[in-house]
């Protein structure tokens, strides 16, 4: 094992790798409870989604470790799951959404094999990449605030503040404050601990039933039967090219950013700033997405939380193996997951939104030709409740303002093509 993962070359050992694996797992395990809650909004069986989420995360993370020998972990991506549940599924059903995810995984894999991912990454302006991340952050936070009933519908202004004294919102507020405090104290696994803390608090205010036996906490995994292999490829024809593109686009830049950022933190980048074996890492991501879709979960992507394990000394794929095994063990927490309400997971969505909003600091708001497209992208996502609309709006605004400002040559020809596609998206949507 030490020889296969080259412990000596990377100056590591079993202890370091195991600790790193546990650390990474703790920081991303919240997805076990959050993903089923989000996808249930699309009409999917929540228990089955939990099983699919866990298995997809486990197998794709182990595959990443074996293919690349990097300490990276994967799971159903935040933002992409919300896009799945609230933008794609309402149009074509969750079966059609799963088919769209599978196709996006195939496209992602082909782009990796053909070596086109790096070229696309270079063509898209950094401003739009950062704006997409920030916009998705607001979109996710908006969903979290709604799930917490801290924001409710109101005829006069569309939305207003909910009743913060009601039991459900109180659980969400408690979880949000607890998570924020833990994050401020830099506690590993703060989001997961926040979910657990909010769930325990919910027992005291009558939002959830108090477990009275071990069987209410651990038990047999939920069956995949209700959602596995239910893909409806015929429905994908109704999705639209911009929706499929959005699935690939968000996954592509989320993954590239995570791989390069985590790779730099671990010292894996070469003298050109490139990550060796990046193609293998992308393939692991693509296979994870396709496999996840077949099992019944949204797009699988590489998690930025992998940096937590790297910070603890994780340097090889053995860290990923540890994460994968830990995910498998959580299959037996199915009964406990049933006690976790949407009020308890809502704070996780809001906190993830806070983290993703950090991308705005890299946007040059002093240059209006950069600021306007970024603002359009960020604003449209939560205000239209559509990630696809935000991406399309940004790709229209960016080349347009650059062109009239006499900076048209700064825009890659690929962006002009995407602008035309985006216009068509709004016309036919």
**Percentage of the chain lying above the pLDDT 70 cut:** 100
Helices (H) and strands (E) in the chain, counts: 19, 4
pLDDT band at 33 (very low <50, low <70, confident <90, very high): very high
Average pLDDT over residues 148-173: 95
Residue by residue, DSSP assigns 79-141 as THHHHIIIIIHHHHHHHHHHHHHHHHHHHHHHHHHTT-HHHHHHHS-HHHHHHHHHHHHHHHH
Which of the residue ranges 14-23, 142-151, 248-257, 331-340 would you say has the lowest mean pLDDT?
Answer: 248-257
CB distance 100 to 236 below 8 Å: yes
pTM across the whole model: 0.90
* H/E stretch holding 169: helix 167-184
- pLDDT at position 7: 92
Distance of alpha carbon 219 from alpha carbon 199, whole angstroms: 18
pLDDT at 275: 87
Pick from 44-53, 247-256, 284-293, 417-426: least confident: 247-256
Does residue 400 surpass a pLDDT of 80?
yes
325: helix, strand or coil: helix
pLDDT at 346 over 80: yes
Rg value, the chain, Cα:
21
The H or E element containing residue 366 is none
Question: What is the mean predicted confidence (pLDDT) over 191-215?
Answer: 92
Asked if 140 and 79 count as a contact pair (C-beta separation under 8 A), the reply is yes
Name every residue whose Cβ is closer than 8 Å to that of residue 359 and which is 6 or more positions away in sequence: 129, 130, 131, 133, 134, 137
pLDDT, residue 182, reads 96
Surface-to-core class of residue 133, CB atoms within 10 Å of its CB (0-12 exposed, 13-18 middle, 19+ buried): buried
Q: What is the mean predicted confidence (pLDDT) over 379-401?
A: 94
pLDDT of residue 409: 92
pLDDT mean over 355-359: 90
User: Is the pLDDT score of 240 beyond 90?
Assistant: no
User: Strand, helix or coil at 76?
Assistant: strand
For residues 197-212, average pLDDT: 92
């Amino acid at each position: 094992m030490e020889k296969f993962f080259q412990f000596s070359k990377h100056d590591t050992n079993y202890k370091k790798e195991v600790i790193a694996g546990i650390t990474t797992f703790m920081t991303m395990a919240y997805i076990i409870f959050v993903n089923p809650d989000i996808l249930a909004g699309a009409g999917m069986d929540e228990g089955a989604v939990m099983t699919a989420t866990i298995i997809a995360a486990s197998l794709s993370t182990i595959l990443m470790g074996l293919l690349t020998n990097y300490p990276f972990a994967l799971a159903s991506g935040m933002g992409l799951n919300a896009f799945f549940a609230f933008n794609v599924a309402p149009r074509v059903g969750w079966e059609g959404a799963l088919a769209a995810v599978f196709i996006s995984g195939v496209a992602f894999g082909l782009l990796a094999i053909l070596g086109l991912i790096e070229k696309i990454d270079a063509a898209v302006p950094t401003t739009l990449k950062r704006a997409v991340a920030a916009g998705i952050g607001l979109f996710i936070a908006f969903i979290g605030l709604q799930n917490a009933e801290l924001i409710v519908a109101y005829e006069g202004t569309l939305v207003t503040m909910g009743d913060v004294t009601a039991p459900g919102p109180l659980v969400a507020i408690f979880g949000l404050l607890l998570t924020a405090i833990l994050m401020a104290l830099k506690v590993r696994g703060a989001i997961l601990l926040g979910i657990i803390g909010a769930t325990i608090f919910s027992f005291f205010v009558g939002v959830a039933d108090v477990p009275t036996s071990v069987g209410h906490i651990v038990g047999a995994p939920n069956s995949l039967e209700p959602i596995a292999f239910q893909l409806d490829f015929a429905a994908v024809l109704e999705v639209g090219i911009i929706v499929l593109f959005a699935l690939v686009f968000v996954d592509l830049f989320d993954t590239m950013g995570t791989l390069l950022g985590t790779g730099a933190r671990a010292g894996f980048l070469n003298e050109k700033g490139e990550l060796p074996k990046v193609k293998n890492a992308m393939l692991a991501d693509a296979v994870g997405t396709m496999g996840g879709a077949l099992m019944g979960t949204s797009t699988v992507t590489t998690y930025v939380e992998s940096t937590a394990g790297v910070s603890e000394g994780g340097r090889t794929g053995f860290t990923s193996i540890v994460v994968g095994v830990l995910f498998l063990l959580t299959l037996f927490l199915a009964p406990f997951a049933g006690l976790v309400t949407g009020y308890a997971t809502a704070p996780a969505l809001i906190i993830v939104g806070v983290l993703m909003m950090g991308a705005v600091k890299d946007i040059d708001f002093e240059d209006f030709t950069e600021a306007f497209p970024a603002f359009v992208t960020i604003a449209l996502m939560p205000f239209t409740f559509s990630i696809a609309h935000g991406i399309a709006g940004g790709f229209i605004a960016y080349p347009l303002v650059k062109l009239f400002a006499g900076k048209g040559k700064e825009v890659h020809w690929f962006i002009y093509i995407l602008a035309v596609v985006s216009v068509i998206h709004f016309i036919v949507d």
